[in-house]
Each structure stands twice: as C-alpha cells, then as structure tokens.
Structure 1
C-alpha cells in the first residue's frame, strides 16, 4: 500500500503545510504497548475460497454465498473460527457429497465460532458453506492516519445522485477488512486460492484477482462474471471492483496488462500507465523471478481511502493518479508515478511472499518504498535515485517522535500504527544502505534467494537476513539487530583538524544520540594533490576518529563518500570546502549539501559561485533548489543570476525549472520581463502558465485579473492555484464564487495553500451571504482535520475574518464565526 496522509503540522498558519506523515504520539504508559503482538497461531489453514455475490445498491448491502475449504494446520480440531465483521449470518453448513448439513455456531458480530461435524486431522480438507449479508455502511469501523476507513466494501454514489461522480463498488482489505465482505481467517499468514462470482448490472465491468474465467448475460439485465485466482494469496489481498470503466489492454511476455479508467481518462491510459510493462520487465530481470501472476491490472476509483493498494494481480489506485496528457507534462517521477512502481513491486514483496504478521510489515512496505528509488535510478539516472532516497530519509528524520520505534515492531497500540515513516521511508533507506554494503550482485542474489525460498508463503526479517547471508557469505546479525530490531538513528557531528607540522589529517566523528553507538561502515573520500583517494572506515563507538597522513592539506575530506548513511548529520566543513565539494564530488547529495551551505553565505565569492553554477546543474531538482536559494537582494548574485534565469525561463527542458525561474523573475517586478511571462502563458504546461500568471499579477494586478478570467475553463493544478491567488488577492464579489468552488472541491493541500488568501478574500467581500459560505468552508476544514491539531489555527483565521466583517457591520457573518469557533473549541 502507498499511503496518502491528510495531516496538518502544528504551527502558525503561514508556516503550516500538509505533511505526508502524522505524528502518532501515545503516552508510554499506555497498556497496549505492553502487549506482545505475536504472529497469529494457525489452527486451521485456508485452502480455497469460493464466493458468489450480488449487490443491493439501494441498501448498500452485498448478498453472499461462500464455500470455504480448509484443513487443520497441524493438530486435529473439531472447531473453526472465522472473522466476519458486522454481517447477517443466515446459514453455516458442512458440505459433503454436494449436500449441506447445518452446523452449530455462535456469532458476536465480529467472529463466527463453528462446531464442526467431527474431528478433522491435518491430512483432511473440509468445506463449510455460509449464506450471509455484508452491511458495510452499518459497520462500526474506524480507520487510521494511513487508511482512513475500514469498512472493507464501498458503495460510491450508488443512487447516482451525486453529479459528475460515477457509480462504483470497490473493496479495500488491508489490514483486516476483507472480513467485512466475506467470512475468512483474516490474517496475513493465511493463503488461499479463490473463485469470485459477481452478478452485476450488465452495463458495468468487473475486476478481481486472477483471470476472468467466464461471463454470462442473464435475462434480468444482469451479467455474472467469474474470476479465478489459481495461486494462493492472503485474504487482505482479495479485491473486487464494479463500475463504468474503460479497459485498455497492454501485454508483457504474453501476459495481459490492463488499465481500468473512467471513460474521460481512457484516452490517456497509456500516458498514465503505459510504462508498466517496462517496469515489470526490469523488476523481473533484477530479481531473477519473473512476474509471478497470470495478469496485471491497475484500476482507478473514486473516494479511495488511502493512496493505492497492491491487491494480487489487480492494483487499485485513488483518483489522484488519473490525469490528462497535458496534466502529465508536469508530472515527474516523484509526482505520482512512484506510486505505480511501488504497488507493482509489491506483487513480489507483499503478494508472492507476504509478511507473516503486521509486526514484520517491513518485508512488504520497506521493499516497495525501496523499489521507487530502484526504478528512479534505472530510468532517470543516479541523481534521480539519490534524490528520491534523500527525500525518504528526510521524511523519517523530520519526525522525531519515530526515533523510539523499531522497524520490526512487536509492541504497538494498533496494527495500523505500523504503517508509518519507519516502515516505509526508514525501511527503504535501510535497504539502500544494505545494498551498498553488500554490493549490487550479492544484494539482488539475496533477494532472489528470499523470494524463491518463500514463494507463495510468508516471510519475516530473519528469513531476509538468512538469504542475504547465504548470498554474501557475511554475518549480518549486527546490521539487523541495529537497524531492524532496534530503534532510532545516529546523530553524527563531524569535525576536522589538519596539523601542518606533522602533515596529518584527523576526522572526528561524534555520535550524540541517546543510547548505544551505531556501527557504521563508511567510505571517506580524501581529495588532495588533484586526486581522490577512498578510505574504508568502521565507526564502532560514539566518539571515534580517523587519522591519516597527507603530503598536503586535503582540499576536501568527504565523510560517507557514497552518501548512503541514514543519519542526522552536522558536517563542519568550511564554505571553501563545500565549494570544492560542489565542483568535484560527483553525487547528488554532494552538490545538494554544497548548495545548502552556499545559500547561507552568499556574501562569500565561493558560495555565489556555487549558487550561479547550480542554476545550470545537470539535475533538475538542484536547478530548482538553486533558483529558490539565490538571494536576489544581493547585487552580485542578481547580476549573475538574471541572465541565467531568463534563459532557464525560456528554454529549460524541465517545465518545473522553467516555472521556478519565472517565479524568481516575477518577484523582481521588472517590467522588462513581462514579454517572457506573456510568452510563457502560451505553454501547454500548467506549472509554467501558473508561474507566468502569478508573475504578471505582481507586475500589474488588473491585467492579471482580466487574464485569469480567460483561463478559468481550461485550468488544472498550478494554473488553477495561480487563478485562485490572483482572484483572492485582487478580485471582487464577482470572482468569489470561482474561488469558493475551487477551495471547497480542492484536495487538502490545495485548500491549505490558498487558505490565508481565501480568508482575506472572505473578509473583504461585500456580500454577507458569500462571506458566510466561505466561513463555513473554512470551519468545515477545521472540523475535518481537528484531530490533527489544526483547530487553533483555523480559529485564528476566523478571528481575522471577524475583524474585517466587523468593519463592514456584517453581524450575520460575525454570528456564524462565533458559532463555528465554539464548535472548534469543543473537545473531541
């Protein structure tokens, strides 16, 4: 699963932004943390699951018949326990010779406890028939920050009453929500083949795991589709989807690869998903295990409760992945396509070999996270891969509350809590380090051993360690004990001392984190006498040092020359050393660190040299970083940068770089740049157009206001954001409806980006009725995200609006603000 979090970081409203992670802080004395979360005991094993289902769109029910075949795992048993959440259970029978014989059972709305007809041994299969009704909308289930709902089965616009929203049905099984739509042993260490028979209105298409075995048109206007999955997989990976989707088919080595999209987006299916066969081929060759399932489908649905889900052979994506060809112009790897490769890698790590428990989720999600970097460096180059893993590290390191959490976690409050930046981004970063330590050949050989040894079964971190040790011949207990079964990360302070008399260089490495030292194998690159010499060094204590001789003072000592280490680092280099690093050390992070250091010292000639050179860096994200870092109030920087920015704004191959350059030029408010901005408005890139409109707004607000009107009907993304900003800054009542509608319909990040200006606009418009609509929209945002601590900021915003409405004697709006504020102040 790729998680999409809706969280708000606490702080002043101008500094707040939506984050990709939510702080899960729980008092340490919480008794839930004392519970050992063991791997579920196996009493019975699932063997085969057959479902025959129909849907009641009006009631939001699913009527199901199930034939579930099982066998005792080891010990003989005469009982069976199945998870079944919030169902009506009408019949439970044993099936023998085609005849159903009722069984005694009890049901508590969560589990069915069944008394079998006799004692069964582990060499005997038996089949239980269940007639049931699933009622997901009546289920009292709560989600989490990662997966915002847990109903299992979702009816989207079932009555067709929501304009411009399709009618759909889809399922979401992770973590243990499949048992909300069929009785099962809903644990990740169970695996079963399956057959799912769906009867649906014949105008709709269906998708499920495995192959479409048959279709039958019925006399009542329905159609019955039978899907068969003939290899075992875990219950949480079962899926169904029903709706008006267009299917665009592709292929890889004779296997069907298909894309299910809303008709509006079907023409762009290959633009969105068309690189999938190439990724399947790359992962298959890299792992030495061909894609293991008989087909691979990807479907996009509305109102999905997370980012995407790796259901076996049938990944489900949220609607954010749907885009037109024009929207995709600005969608580089990290802007959405990383999710597509993430879910695909799960077909090996997660589906083919599945974590035996949620405590060991790392063998699913850390690998899927790592796969994003793997694809980025293969497809887009090493800089892209290094940039992606750097973002992973920073995502984890920016959440200090995570430093106490182990990667393999046997104590947690709720299983959903394991879906966090430790499991994803930290785990991916750890795999990145492990690959570097072992070398590519040994690392991928280890993955091959792990996959083949545990194929169609379950895995855990120890099995991964053993596979890596078998491949490399190295003991890895130290690595796994430290990174998998321990918490935190090194906080490393690096200082340097050159002794000219003895011609010795000393590098001091001081770990300042609480607890024990981390053992760190490091590459240390020494640049001296016009050449680079790499030294391998092991840090084994909290205070360690390396001393070596050099004929001349090194121009640079580059600790962690491979830039692999997961650490919060303070590297006490001089600006001259960072300048040398930018122009001589080869990696993305070498240059990133140098730009970061130079940005703080632009009165220094070397620092300015770095910033100006980085405007033309070979990697686009570093060009953007340099554009944003350039201090245009410094005459020397501005005089050198403006000609480069003009060139970038007009000709750079990357649309986001062009947009960033236009933004920087716009802030200068130089009339001579207006033609650049006007030409940029002709671009097909929404990012470039948005930057150009914003820049023109800084030059001439009235002209920008008139221009914005002409782009209303054909805008998305950054252009829509720019229109909103122009209207919110300079607009009047006639523009308010557009801003209100876009704010109300926007994603949380869009809403937060425009919040301050939308509030200012709401404060100054003449219409009390319009103002009250805006007040309600802002208050609704506060209510929706109140659990993430945003209420105080929203109350402050509303207070500002109240001050402005008071100047207009708008008592109705003031009353609405007082009421909304009182609601936000209430405890949850």
Structure 2
C-alpha cells in the first residue's frame, strides 16, 4: 500500500496556513503500547475460499454465499473461529457429499465461533457454507491517518445522485477489513486460493484477483462474472471492483496487463500506465523471479481511502493517478508514477511473500518504498534515484517523534500505526544502505533466495537476514540489530584539522544521539593534488577519528563519499570546500549539499559561482533548487542569474525548470519580461502557464484577471491553482463560486494549498450568502479532520473571517461562524 498521511497534511496546515502557534500538549502514553503483538496463532489454515455475491445498491448491502475450505494447522480441532464484521449470519453448515448440514455457532458481530460436526486432524480438510449479508455502511469501523476508513466494501454514488461522479463498488482489505465483506481468518499469515462470482448490472465491468473464468448474461439485466485465483494469497489482498470502466489491454510475456479507467481518461491509459510492462520486466530480471501471477491489472476508483493498494494481480489506485496527456507533461517521476512502481513491486514483496504479521510489515512496505528508488535510478539515472532516496531520508528525519520506534516492533497501539515513515521511508533508506554495503550482485541474490524460499508463504526480517547472509557470506546480525530491531539514527558531527607541519589530516567524528553508538562503514573520499583517493573506515564508537598523511592539504575531505548514510549530519566544511565539492564530487547529494551551503553565503564569490553554475545543473531538481535559492536582491547574483533565467524560461526542456525560472523572473516585477510571460502562456505545460499567469499578476493584476477568465475552461494543475489564487486575491463576487467549487471538490492537498487565500476571499466577498457557503466549507474541513487535531487551527481561520465579516456588518455570517466554532470546540 502507498499511503497518504492525513495527519502529516494537517500538521502542514497548522504550521504553514495559519501563521500562528498553537500550544500542543504531549498526549499520555498509550497503554496499548505495553501489549505484545504476537504473530497470530494458526489453529486452522484456509485452503480455498469460494464466494457468490450480489449487491443491493439502495441499501448498500452485499448478499453473500461462501464455501470456505480449511484444515487444522497442526493440532486436531472440533471448532472454528472466523472474522466477520457487522454481518447478518443466516446459515452456517458443513458441506458433505453436496449437502449442507447446519452447525451450531455463536456470533458477536465480530467473530463467528462454530462448533464443527466432529474433530478434524491436519491431514483432513472440510468445507463450511455460510449465507450472510454484509452491511459496510452500518459498520462502526475507525480508520487511521494512513488508511482513513476501514469498512472494507465501498458503494460510491450508488443512487447516481452526485453529479459528475460515477457509480462504483470497490473493496479495501488492508489491514483487516476483508472480513467486513466475507467471513474469513483475516490475518496476514493465512493463504488461500479463491473463486469470486459477482452478479452485477450488465452495463458494468468487474475486476477481481486472478483470471476471468466465465461471464453469463442473465434475463433480468444483470450479468454474472466468475474470477478465479488459483495461487494462494492472503485474505487482505482479496479485491472486487464494479463500475463503468474502460479496459485497455497490454501484455508482458503473453500475460495480460490491463488498465481500468473512467471513460474520460481511457484515451490516456497508455500515457498513464503504459510503462508497466517495462517495469514488470525490469523487476523480474533484477529479482531473478518472473512476475508470479497470471495477469496484472490496475484500476482507478473514486473516493479511495488511501493512496493505492497492491491487491494480488489487481492493484487499486486512487483517482489522483488519472491524468490527461497534457497533465502528464509535468509529471516526471511524480507521486502517481512512483506509486505505480511501488504497488507493482508488492506483487513480489507483500503478495508472493507476505509479512507474517503487521509487526514485520517492513518486509512488505520497506521493499516497495525502496523499489521506487530502484526504478528511478534505472529509468531516469542515478541522480534521480539519489534524489528519491534523499527525500525518503528527510521525510523520516523530519519527524523526531519516530526516533523511538523500531523498524520491526511488536508493541504498537493500533496495527495501522505500523504504516508510518519508519516502515516506509526509513525502511527504504535502510535497504539502500544494505545494498551498498553488500554490493548489487550479493544483495539481489539474497532477495532471490528470500523470495524462492518463502514463495506463496510468509516472511519476516530474520528470514531476510538469513537469505542475505547466505548470498553474501557475511554476518549481518550487527546491521539488523541496530537498524531493524533498534530505533533511531546517528546524529553525526564532522570536523577537520590540517597540520601543515606534519602533513597530516585529521577527521573527527562524533555521534551525539542518545544511546549507543551506531556501527557505520564509511567511505571517506580525499581530494588532494588533483586526485581522489577513497578510504574505507568503520566507525564503531560514539567518538572516533581518522588521521592520514597527505603531501598537500586536501581540497576536500568528503565523509560518506557514496552518500548512503541515514543520519542527521552536521559537516563543518568551509564554503571553499563546498564550492570545490560542487564542481568535483559527482553525486546528486554532493551538489545538493554544496548548493545548500552556497545559498546561505551569496556575498561570497565562490558561493555565487555555485549558485549560477547550478542553474544549469544536469539534474532538473538541482536546477530548481538553485533557481529558488538565488538571491535576486544581490546585484552580483541578479546580474549573473537573470540572463540565464531568461534562457531557461524560454528553452529549457524540463517544464518544471521553465516554470521555476518564470516564477523567479516574475518576482522581479520587471515590465521588460511581460512579453516572455505572455509567450509562456502558449505552452502546453500547465506548470509553465501557471507560473506565467502568476508572474503577470504581479505586474498587472487587472490583465491577469482577464487572462484567468479566458483560461478557466482548459485548466488543470498549476494553471488552475494560479487562476484560483488570482481570483482569491483580486476577484469579486463574480469569481467566488469558481473558487468555492474548487475548494469544496478538491483533495485535502488542494484544500490545504488554497485554504489561506480562500479564507481571505470569504472574508471580503460582498454576498453574505456566498460568505456563509465558504464558512460552512471551511468548518466542514475542520470537522472532517477533527480527529487529527485540526479544529483549533480552523477555529483561528474562522476567527479571521469573523473580523472581516464584522466590519461588513454581516451578522448572518458572524452567527454562522459562532455556531461553527462552538461545534468545532466540542469534545469528540
């Protein structure tokens, strides 16, 4: 699963949108953290699950019949417990010779406890029949920051009353929500084959795991589809989807690869997903295990409750991946594309071999996270891979509250707490370090051993360690103990001393984090006399040093020369050394660090040289970093940068670089650039157009308003955002409904980006009716995310609107704000 963290978004809103501090209290320790979360015991094993389901769109019910085949795992048993959340259980029977014999059972709305007809041993299987009704909308299931809902089965616009929204049904099983739509042993350490028969309106298509075995038209306007998965997989990976999807088919080595999209986006299916066969081929060759399932489908649905989900052979994506050819011009290795490869890697790490418990989620999610970097460096180059893993490190390091959490942890408040930046980004960065330490060949040989040894079974971190040790011949207990079964990261201070008399260079290394030292193999690159010499060094203590002779003072000593370390580093290099580093050390992070240092010292000639050179860096993200860093109030910087920015704005092949250059030029508010900005409006790139409109707005708001109106109907992405900001800043009542619609229909990130401007617009709009609509929309946002602590911030936003509406004598809007404030301040 690729998760979108609602809590992180709300944290950004609190910090960025409100521009005010709110006191935060430390929550009391969760008593659930003291509970040892053992791997679920296996009393019975699932063998085969057969389902026959139909849907009641009006009631939002699923009517199901199930034949579940099991056997005792080891010990003889005369009873069976199945997870079944919020269902009506009508019949439970044992099936023998084609006949159903009722069994005694009890049901508490979560678990069916069944008394079998006799005692079964582990060489005997048996089949239980269950007739049931699933009622997902009546289920009181709480989501989390990672997966915002947990009712398992979702009816989207089932009555067709929501304009411009399709009618769909889809499922979401992770972590343990499959048991909200069929009784099962809803644990990741179970594996079962399956057969799912769906009866649906004939106008819709269906998708499930495995192959479409049959379709039959019925006489009542419905059709019955049967899907069969003939290889075992875990219950949380079961899926169904029903709706008006257009299917675009592709292939890989004779296996079907298909893309299910809303009709509007079907013409762009290959633009969105068309690189999938290439990724399958690359992962198959890299891992030495061919894609294991009989097909691979990807489907895009509305109102999905997280980012995406790796259901076996049938990945489900949220609608953020749907885009037109024009929108994809600015995508590069965007969230959508990285998610596509992330979910695909799960077909090996997560589906083929599945974490035996949520405590070991790392063997699923850390690998999928790492795969994003793996694909980036293969497809787009080493700089792209290094940039992606650097973002992972920063994502983890920016959340200090995570430093106490082990990667593999058997104590947590809720199983979904495992879906965090430790499991994902830190875990991915750890695998990146481990690959570097072992070397590519040994690392991938170890993954091959792990996959083949545990195929269609479950895995845990110890099995991964043993496989990598078998491949490499190296002991890895030290690595796993500190990175998998320990918490935190090194906080490393690096200082240097050159002794000209003795011609010796000393490097001082000091780990300042609490607790024990991290053992770290380091590459230390010494640049002296026009040559680079790499020295290998093991840091085993919290304070350590390296002394070596050099004929001349090194121009640069580059600690962590291969830029692999997951650590918070403070490096005392001089600006002269960082300048040398930019022009001589080869890696993305070498140049990134140099640009960061130079940005703070642009009165220095060497720093300016770095900034100006980086405007034409070979990697576009570093170009953008330099563009944003350039201090255009410094005459020397501006005189050197401006002609470069003009050229970049007009001719750079990367649209995001062009947009960044236009934005920088726009801030100069120089009328001589107006023609450049107007020419940029002719670009096919929404990013370039959006930057151009914003730049024009800085020079001539009236003209920007007119231009914004002309681009309304053909705007997405950055251009639409620029139009919204232009309207929210300078618009009147005439433009308010356009901004209101974009805010209310936008994803949380869109609402976050627009929140401050939308609130200001709501405060000044003349119409009380429009203001009250905006107040309600902002309050609804606060209510929706109240459980994540956003209510105080939204109350402050409403307070700002209240001041403005009071000045306009709008008593109705003020009353609406007062009521919304009271509601938001009520305890949950």
TM-score, structure 2 length as denominator? 0.98
* 1:272 and 2:307 matched: no
Instruction: Give the superposition deviation at 1:826.
Output: 2.3
1:178-227 Cα distance to aligned partner (Å, 9 max, x none): 00111100000000000001111111100000000011111111111110
> Counterpart in 2 of 1:27?
28
CA shift, 1:24, in A, is 13
> 1:799-818, CA deviations, whole angstroms, 9 ceiling, x for partnerless residues?
22222222221111111122
Residues 24 and 417 in structure 1, CA contact (< 8 A), matched pair in contact too: no
What's the counterpart of residue 15 of structure 1? Answer: 16
| Partner SS, residue 545 of structure 1 | strand
Quote the residue 1:210 is aligned against. 210
SS of match in other structure, 2:325: coil
Where does structure 1 differ by over 6 angstroms across 4 or more consecutive aligned residues? none
Distance in 1 separating the partners of 2:396 and 2:11: 17
> Measured at CA, do residues 13 and 444 of structure 1 come closer, stay the same or move farther in structure 2, by a change above 3 Å?
closer
2:502 corresponds to which residue? 502
1:803 counterpart residue number: 803
Give the whole-Å Cα distance in 1 for the aligned partners of 2:318 and 2:650.
35
2: distance between equivalents of 1:24 and 1:96?
A: 61
Alignment of 1:84-99 (within 5 A): 84-99=84-99
- Write out per-residue CA displacement over residues 319-350 of structure 1, whole angstroms, 9 at most, x where no aligned residue: 00101111111111133100000000000000
State how far apart, in whole Å, the 2-side matches of 1:485 and 1:24 are. Answer: 29
Kept after mapping to 2: 8 A contact 1:686/1:718: yes
Q: Separation in 2 of the partners of 1:467 and 1:795? A: 54
Deviation per CA, 1:416-463: give whole Å up to 9, x if none: 000000000000000000000000000000000000000000000000
Check whether the contact 1:189–1:354 (CA below 8 A) recurs between aligned residues. Answer: yes
How far apart are residue 787 of structure 1 and its match?
A: 2.5
Q: Could you tell me how far apart the structure 2 residues matched to 1:699 and 1:422 are? A: 45
Distance (whole Å) between structure 2 residues aligned to residue 146 and residue 56 of structure 1: 29
Q: Within 5 Å, give how 1:671-710 maps onto structure 2.
A: 671-710=671-710
The equivalent of 2:41 in structure 1 is: 41
TM superposition shift of 1:795: 2.1
How far apart, CA to CA, are the structure 1 residues paired with 2:139 and 2:820? 30
Contact 2:772 2:813 in 1 (8 A): yes
Map of 1:202-351 to 2, 5 A cutoff? 202-351=202-351
1:9, distance to aligned residue in structure 2 (A) = 4.8
SS at structure 2 position matched to 1:176: coil
Give the CA deviation at 1:31.
2.2
Is the Cα contact below 8 Å between 1:327 and 1:716 reproduced in 2? Answer: yes
Specify the SS of the correspondent of 1:197. strand
Q: CA contact under 8 A between 1:25 and 1:401: conserved in structure 2? A: no
Q: CA deviation at 1:789?
A: 2.6
Q: Compared with structure 1, are the counterparts of its residues 757 and 258 closer, same or farther at alpha carbon in structure 2 (3 Å cutoff)?
A: same
Alpha-carbon separation, structure 2, partners of 1:163 and 1:439:
55
1:730 lines up with 2:727 in the alignment: no
The residue that corresponds to 2:167 in the other structure is 167
Aligned-partner Cα distance in 1 for 2:558–2:640: 29
CA distance in 2, matches of 1:787, 1:182: 29
1:556-601 residue CA offsets vs partner (Å, 9 max, x unmatched): 0000001000001101110000000000000000000000000000
**SS of match in other structure, 1:617:** coil
Q: Distance in 1 between matches of 2:598 and 2:453?
A: 50
1:123 paired to 2:130? no
Residues 650 and 815 (structure 1), Cα distance of their counterparts in 2 relative to 1, 3 Å cut? same
Match in the other structure for 2:636: 636
Structure 1 partner of 2:779: 779
What SS does the aligned partner of 1:350 have? coil
| Deviation of 1:6 (Å) | 2.0
Whole-angstrom distance in 2 between the partners of 1:267 and 1:422: 38
Match of 2:561 in 1: 561
Q: Is the 8 A contact 2:18 2:796 kept in 1?
A: no
1:12 deviates by: 8.1
TM-superposed CA distance for 1:824, in Å, is: 2.1
Q: Residues 208-607 of structure 1 correspond to what in structure 2 (within 5 A)?
A: 208-607=208-607
What is the aligned partner in structure 1 of residue 624 from structure 2? Answer: 624
Partner SS, residue 216 of structure 1: strand
SS of alignment partner, residue 471 of structure 1: helix
Contact kept, 8 Å, 1:579 with 1:610, in 2: the verdict is: yes
Alpha-carbon separation, structure 2, partners of 1:178 and 1:210: 17
Q: Distance in 1 between matches of 2:184 and 2:419?
A: 23
Distance 1:720 1:405, change over 3 A: same
Q: Is the 8 A contact 1:17 1:749 kept in 2?
A: no
CA distance in 2: counterparts of 1:469 and 1:16, whole angstroms? 49
SS in 2 for 1:264: coil
CA distance in 1, matches of 2:428, 2:468: 16
In 2: Cα distance, 1:41 partner to 1:758 partner: 53
State the alpha-carbon separation in 1 of the partners of residues 242 and 170 from structure 2.
Answer: 6
Are the counterparts in 2 of residues 90 and 131 from structure 1 also a CA contact under 8 Å? yes
What does the per-residue CA deviation read over 1:359-391, in whole Å, with 9 as the maximum and x for residues that have no partner? 000000000000000000000000000000000
Q: Report Cα offsets for 1:717-754 as digits up to 9, x if no partner.
A: 11111001111111111111111111111121221222
> Partners of 2:263 and 2:448 in 1: how far apart?
40
Q: CA deviation at 1:25?
A: 7.6
Q: Cα–Cα, structure 1 residues 771 and 756, in superposed 2: closer, same or farther, change >3 Å? A: same
> Equivalents in 2 of 1:117, 1:13: separation in Å?
59
SS state of the match for residue 297, structure 1? strand
Q: How many residues of Structure 1 are paired with residues of Structure 2 in the alignment? A: 823
Q: Does 1:718 align with 2:734?
A: no
Q: 2 CA distance for matches of 1:668 and 1:168? A: 49
TM superposition shift of 1:791: 2.4
- 3-state DSSP of counterpart to 2:334: helix
Residue 326 of structure 1: SS of its match in structure 2?
helix
Unaligned runs of at least 5 residues, structure 1: none
Q: TM-score, normalised by structure 1?
A: 0.98
Encode CA deviations 1:237-290: one digit per residue, 9 max, x unaligned.
000001110000000000000000000000000000000000000000000000
Deviation for aligned residue 1:14: 6.9
Q: How far off is 1:790 after superposition?
A: 2.4
Cα deviation 1:162-193 (Å, max 9, x = unaligned): 11111111000000000011110000000000
- 1:655-696 Cα shifts (integer Å, max 9, x gaps): 111000000000000000001100000011111000000000
Q: Secondary structure at the match of 1:62?
A: strand
Are the aligned partners of 2:58 and 2:158 in contact in 1 as well (CA < 8 Å)? yes
Give the Å deviation of 1:16.
Answer: 4.2
Out of 6-15 and 120-129, give the one that drifted further.
Answer: 6-15
Q: What root-mean-square deviation, in Å, do the aligned CA atoms of Structure 1 and Structure 2 show? A: 1.3
Contact between 1:17 and 1:753, CA under 8 Å: does it hold in 2?
no
Structure-2 change in CA distance of 1:11 and 1:624 (3 Å): closer
Between stretches 353-362 and 780-789, larger displacement belongs to 780-789
How far did residue 776 of structure 1 move? 1.5
Distance 1:738 1:786 in 2: 26
Instruction: Tell me: CA distance 1:364–1:197, structure 2 relative to 1, closer, same or farther (3 Å).
Output: same
Query: For 1:608-648, what per-residue CA distance to the aligned partner results, in whole angstroms no more than 9, with x for missing partners?
Result: 00000000000000000000000000000000000000000
Rounded Cα–Cα distance in structure 2 between residues aligned with 1:781 and 1:290: 46
Mapped partners of 1:86, 1:355: distance in 2? 27
Q: Any idea what SS the aligned residue of 2:265 has?
A: helix
The aligned residue for residue 191 of structure 1 is 191
Verify the 8 A CA contact 1:9 1:17 in the aligned structure 2.
Answer: no
Distance (whole Å) between structure 2 residues aligned to residue 301 and residue 714 of structure 1: 23
Could you tell me how far apart the structure 1 residues matched to 2:191 and 2:788 are?
A: 37
Hey, what's the Cα distance between the residues in 1 that align with 2:664 and 2:442? 46
Answer yes or no: is 1:6 the counterpart of 2:16: no
Structure 2 residues not aligned, in runs of 5+: none
Deviation string 1:79-101 (CA, Å, 9 cap, x unpaired) is: 11100100111111111111111
Tell me the distance in 1 between the aligned counterparts of 2:120 and 2:798.
66
Using the alignment, how far apart are the partners of 2:775 and 2:121 within structure 1?
Answer: 66
Separation in structure 2 between the aligned mates of residue 15 and residue 95 of structure 1, nearest angstrom: 61
